[in-house]
């Protein structure tokens, strides 16, 4: 894609951003990862992310974005019970308002300071979890606004945008990191690595995608 240029990956150590990390390694000259802390329930996430970045031999930068958890109450950054299903008339309380807009803005400022213009984010509209800031229109709009704000030419890449979870597993397999993604990443809202707790919304989505993919996987 832009094999002579470096990229910055928004990285959490989950299935999606880990797949994006390896996608970026195939498509850019150098890859840097940026991981946000914002009072997640499970700080273990950060250690998992760091270990994956080390294994992939890419740089790992941690940025304290905990201001986000002070701005509004949600179940990812506080002790309130997590919604298991999307409420009909609102977003699930795992939704952190403004998160991706803030993260992309922070990422762009950091990328600029390293003369990086490619930013990779693992958001997806296909297995749409009800989050407005995972939609393609939002990403395009944020990309345009950030470029205008800094008079730059950033390109935000979202390789998972139109892939459902089954297709994300398939991509990991094509990148030859299926086992790494399966055994080392942390997607579970209850902080359990790999297959997770099995019953939170993130685990259900991941597991369903895996089962579907294993049915069609060529061995």
DSSP E strands in the chain: the ranges are 7-10, 31-37, 59-64, 118-120, 155-157
Stretch of residues binding Zn ion (CB under 5 A), selected from 12-20, 61-69, 135-143, 187-195: 187-195
Q: How far is CA 6 from CA 85, 95, 122, 191, in A?
A: 39, 31, 17, 31
With contacts defined by CB under 5 A, name the span among 34-42, 54-62, 105-113, 202-210 that binds Zn ion.
202-210
Q: Is residue 168 involved in binding Zn ion (CB under 5 A)?
A: no
Give the 3-state secondary structure of residue 42. coil
State yes or no: residue 145 binds Zn ion (CB under 5 A). Answer: no
Using N-to-C axis directions, what is the helix angle for 44-56 and 15-27, rounded to 10°? 20
| Closer residue to Zn ion (CB): 42 or 135 | 42
Query: What's the distance, Cα to Cα, between the start and end of the chain in Å?
Result: 28
Residue 48 CB: number of other CB atoms within 10 A? 23
Contact stretch for Zn ion (CB under 5 A) within 4-12, 28-36, 132-140, 200-208? 200-208
Q: Which helix (H) or strand (E) holds 171?
A: helix 165-174
Question: Does 196 sit near Zn ion (CB under 5 A)?
Answer: yes
Confirm or reject binding of residue 190 to Zn ion (CB under 5 A): yes
How far apart are CB 105 and Zn ion at their closest, in Å?
Answer: 29
| Residue 29 or 183 with smaller CB distance to Zn ion | 183
CB of 109 to Zn ion, least distance (A): 33
The stretch among 93-101, 124-132, 155-163, 195-203 that binds Zn ion (CB under 5 A) is 195-203
Burial class (CB in 10 A: 0-12, 13-18, 19+), 101: middle
Query: Residue 84, interface with Zn ion (CB under 5 A)?
Result: no
Q: Which of 203, 206, 209, 210 touches Zn ion (CB under 5 A)?
A: 203
Q: Which residues bind Zn ion (CB under 5 A)?
A: 188, 190, 196-197, 200, 203
């Amino acid at each position: 894609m832009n094999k002579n240029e470096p990229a910055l990956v928004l990285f959490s150590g989950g299935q999606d951003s880990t797949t994006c990390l390896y996608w970026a390694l195939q498509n850019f000259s150098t890859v840097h990862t940026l991981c946000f802390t914002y009072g997640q329930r499970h700080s273990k996430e950060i250690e998992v992310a760091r270990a994956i970045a080390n294994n992939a031999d890419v740089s790992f930068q941690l940025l304290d974005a905990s201001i986000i958890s002070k701005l509004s109450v949600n179940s990812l950054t506080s002790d309130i019970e997590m919604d298991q299903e999307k409420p009909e008339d609102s977003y699930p309380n795992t939704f952190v308002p403004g998160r991706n807009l803030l993260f992309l803005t922070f990422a762009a400022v950091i990328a600029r300071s390293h003369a990086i213009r490619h930013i990779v984010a693992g958001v997806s509209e296909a297995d749409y979890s009800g989050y407005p800031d995972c939609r393609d229109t939002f990403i395009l709009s944020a990309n345009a606004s950030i470029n205008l704000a800094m008079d730059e030419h950033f390109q935000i890449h979202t390789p998972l945008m139109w892939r459902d979870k089954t297709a994300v597993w398939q991509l990991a397999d094509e990148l030859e990191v299926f086992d790494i993604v399966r055994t080392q990443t942390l997607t579970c809202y209850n902080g359990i690595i790999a297959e997770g707790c099995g019953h939170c919304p993130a685990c259900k989505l991941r597991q369903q995608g895996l089962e579907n993919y294993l049915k069609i996987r060529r061995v």
